[in-house]
Chain A
Amino acid sequence: MLRVAHQAHSPPAPTELDDATVRRAIAGDHDAGRELVEMYQGRVFAMVSRMLSGRGRATIEDVAQDTFLAVFRQLPRFETGGAARLSTWILAIAARRSIDELRRMRPMLVPEVDRERAGEARGDERATRRELAAAIEAAVRDLSPELRAAFLLREYHDLEYVEIARALDIDLGTVKSRLARARAALRARLAEVGHG
């Protein structure tokens, strides 16, 4: 059973599900399935919500749910104890589902207003942070779905280049060029808000 560390001297919280729990999840154990979702749902929502920025909570939840259903279907093929981390494998599925969703939808769907950002500014620091967040979000939203996925997997989820290549089924050179373009776009946006 996984436990999150709350005390200063406790070991750090695990970032991957242990193999025994994965095997129980494959066998259909309900508790193990729940542990799997709870372990990775934060990362999946982080990926999907940024990929589908502005598409609305309902869509994001649908894609996140769809991701986990795909994970359960494909989990028996995942090699426990192998080189690939389960989190990387799940994020790859989340990225591909998000790309499909972006391709499926028409550009008429536009961002929901973020309540926090739409509210009154409370202090310079908070206002600056909101401005920064808006600039980053805008930069990412300007990227094509494939560029977006590569950028988010690298910069928010710390995947190695080779892991991104495998996740998106592209070669290493393409990963590098996509990341370079995405970073350039980000830097341009950050410069616009004086954070260059």
Chain B
Amino acid sequence: MDDRELTSRERAALDAWAPLAPPPGFAERVLAQRPSSTTRRRRWPTIAAALVACAAATAIFVATPPEDRSAHGELVATVRTTRTLGDRAVAVAEPHATLTWRIDDDGGAVVEQRAGDVFYRVDRGGPFVVHTPVGDVHVTGTCFRIEVEPMNKTTQLLLSGTVGAALAAGIVVTVYEGRVVADTGSARTELVAGNRATIGADGRTLVDSAGSSTAPAIAAGATLDERNATREELLARTASQRTELARLRERVAELERLRSAIPDNGAETGRAWYDPSPERLKAWAAECHVRSDEPGLGSWRPATALGRNDLGLEPDELADYNAAFSEVQTRWFALVRELYIEATGDTAGVETLSIDAMRGEIQQKSAPEELGYLLQRIANERAGLAQAPADLSQASPFERMMRNYISLGDQVEQALATRLGPERAKELRGDGWGSRSDWSGCPSTAQ
């Protein structure tokens, strides 16, 4: 091992590599996105119900086909949605929850939960971390739940120009089994089964008991002081817990029924992300479930000879590859900018916001439940149960953006096919481009 410190000559050499300087106005840009620090408490399910959910999550995990255990994905839930994350985790996302995840080759998992309420069941393995707007939650093997508390609407409107999904007033972490570590950067708090931590936007962490499996302290929908509660209140809580348990059991049974309706992998043709089988598409239509893949065009940069091997490209393919990606990226960026202006009227924002931030803003401006209605229509169209609209000129900016976004993977493949041939384009796409999205959830009311 070379323990020698760098020599003065070597240190002087380091100065040759100059860093990037901050752009003008960077400080104001940061401050414009600085959230306020209001917090509010949310109601909690019973511990007993949560433990049933732990068991349910395990059952779902065992029943999930390996190809559905996505290594990389995004979920915007409009109804309660269960997803497997890699080989050892299940997430149950409540409506309005937003999360993305990535599983590394070594089994390590990084989840980003930007909004909403998500219940996790994680088996032991590599590192598992959930990033939230106010800190990280490191997990070993456990059952836990994170709620990202939204800011109130008025504050969000005052901060227009920022990505609404990134705004949060705090999080609440409850641990049902095992242990987790909540890390706000300045403090690490270990939480064990039965603990609940409320972490404010200011980083303050308040740990209290979420009850135990023998004496649950929290009733479904309300906190109850057992010492001072009346007999009627205790009976009401017990009834509420029984209802919640029954509901969760029904949910497990329903998920198992849905899963058994999907044919075994061996009998199914097509790819899970962009070319699913007709049977799978029909099952998805019932759940308003849409999947898409794209190659991360939001941050794509032309490949160089250095990165060619990673992509599996031949030397003479590099220029065509870059041209194809660049063509689709340019078109996509132009569309998002155009739709952003149409949705917000903010012409200055297109000069400063990232494409992903503009996407977030366009979605923020969409009508309530528009995502659910749109998923319903697209899932039915893909399953051949409805006709895709021929003219989108009257569609909302959000619908035009979504429809284009979910077709980006095909667009890139097509652009590659015109240059390298359809077989090679399909080969490069493989089982799907790296950035994968997974939307689920039907609207709660008929349109």
* Given the contacts A104-B102, A108-B311, A155-B14, A37 and B30 also touching, CB distance less than 8 Å: yes
Interface size on B, residues (CB 8 A): 60
A37 surroundings in chain B (CB, below 8 A): 26-27, 30-31
A75 surroundings in chain B (CB, below 8 A): 186, 202-203
B432 surroundings in chain A (CB, below 8 A): none
Q: Restricting to B111-158, which residues have a CB under 8 Å from any CB of A? A: 131, 133-135
Asked whether B203 lies within 8 Å of A73 as measured between CB atoms, the reply is yes
Asked whether B27 lies within 8 Å of A74 as measured between CB atoms, the reply is no
Q: Which secondary structure dominates chain B's binding surface?
A: loop
A104, closest chain B residue (CB): B102
B171-211 CB mask vs A (1 if < 8 Å, else 0) is 00000000000001111000000000000011110000000
A29-55 CB mask vs B (1 if < 8 Å, else 0) is 010011001100110111101100001
Asked whether B133 lies within 8 Å of A64 as measured between CB atoms, the reply is no
B230 within 8 A of A: no
| Cβ contact of B13, chosen from A30, A105, A136, cutoff 8 A | A136
Q: How far is the CA of A38 from the CA of B2 in the complex (A)?
A: 37
A153 within 8 A of B: no
Asked whether A187 lies within 8 Å of B306 as measured between CB atoms, the reply is no
List 19 extra interface pairs beyond A28-B37, A58-B299, A73-B35, CB under 8 A.
Answer: A28-B36, A37-B30, A38-B27, A44-B22, A46-B20, A55-B299, A56-B299, A62-B354, A89-B186, A104-B102, A106-B296, A108-B434, A137-B17, A180-B1, A180-B2, A183-B5, A186-B6, A187-B10, A195-B9
| Cβ contact of B29, chosen from A65, A110, A137, A186, cutoff 8 A | A65
Asked whether A69 lies within 8 Å of B19 as measured between CB atoms, the reply is no
A129 within 8 A of B: yes
Asked whether B2 lies within 8 Å of A76 as measured between CB atoms, the reply is no
Q: How far is the CA of A104 from the CA of B296 in the complex (A)?
A: 11
B11 surroundings in chain A (CB, below 8 A): 155
Asked whether B133 lies within 8 Å of A73 as measured between CB atoms, the reply is yes
A104 surroundings in chain B (CB, below 8 A): 102, 110
| Cβ contact of A59, chosen from B21, B36, B299, cutoff 8 A | B299
A56, closest chain B residue (CB): B301
Asked whether B135 lies within 8 Å of A110 as measured between CB atoms, the reply is no
Q: How far is the CA of A152 from the CA of B142 in the complex (A)?
A: 35
Interface size on A, residues (CB 8 A): 71
* Given the contacts A76-B202, A187-B2, A110 and B110 also touching, CB distance less than 8 Å: no
* Given the contacts A38-B27, A108-B296, A136-B16, A73 and B10 also touching, CB distance less than 8 Å: no
A143 surroundings in chain B (CB, below 8 A): none
B429 → chain A closest CB, angstroms: 13
A18 within 8 A of B: no
30 A-B residue pairs with CB within 8 Å: A34-B27, A34-B31, A37-B26, A45-B19, A64-B22, A65-B29, A70-B185, A71-B185, A72-B30, A73-B134, A73-B185, A73-B201, A74-B184, A96-B185, A103-B108, A105-B299, A107-B307, A108-B295, A108-B307, A108-B311, A109-B299, A109-B300, A109-B301, A136-B13, A155-B6, A177-B1, A181-B2, A184-B2, A190-B10, A195-B9
B4 within 8 A of A: yes
Asked whether B306 lies within 8 Å of A110 as measured between CB atoms, the reply is yes
Asked whether A45 lies within 8 Å of B20 as measured between CB atoms, the reply is yes
A160 surroundings in chain B (CB, below 8 A): none
A164 within 8 A of B: no
A44 surroundings in chain B (CB, below 8 A): 22
Asked whether B27 lies within 8 Å of A190 as measured between CB atoms, the reply is no
B299 surroundings in chain A (CB, below 8 A): 55-56, 58-59, 105, 109
Asked whether A110 lies within 8 Å of B301 as measured between CB atoms, the reply is yes
Q: Restricting to B22-40, which residues have a CB under 8 Å from any CB of A? A: 22-23, 26-31, 33-37
Asked whether A73 lies within 8 Å of B2 as measured between CB atoms, the reply is no
Asked whether A41 lies within 8 Å of B27 as measured between CB atoms, the reply is yes
Q: How far is the CA of A42 from the CA of B27 in the complex (A)?
A: 11
B310 within 8 A of A: yes
Q: How far is the CA of A74 from the CA of B299 in the complex (A)?
A: 28
* Given the contacts A61-B23, A64-B22, A195-B13, A74 and B307 also touching, CB distance less than 8 Å: no
B100, closest chain A residue (CB): A104
B180 → chain A closest CB, angstroms: 15
B26 → chain A closest CB, angstroms: 6
Asked whether B184 lies within 8 Å of A77 as measured between CB atoms, the reply is yes
B23, closest chain A residue (CB): A61
* Given the contacts A33-B31, A50-B17, A111 and B306 also touching, CB distance less than 8 Å: yes
| Cβ contact of B203, chosen from A57, A76, A155, cutoff 8 A | A76
B422-440 CB mask vs A (1 if < 8 Å, else 0) is 0000000000001000000
A112 surroundings in chain B (CB, below 8 A): 301
A150 within 8 A of B: no
A41 surroundings in chain B (CB, below 8 A): 22, 26-27
A58, closest chain B residue (CB): B354
B274-314 CB mask vs A (1 if < 8 Å, else 0) is 00000000000000000000011001111110110011000
Asked whether B20 lies within 8 Å of A60 as measured between CB atoms, the reply is yes
A85 within 8 A of B: no
B40 → chain A closest CB, angstroms: 17
B321, closest chain A residue (CB): A108
Q: How far is the CA of A52 from the CA of B429 in the complex (A)?
A: 26
B132 → chain A closest CB, angstroms: 10
7 tightest A-B contacts by CB?
A77-B186, A110-B307, A49-B20, A37-B27, A46-B19, A133-B16, A132-B16
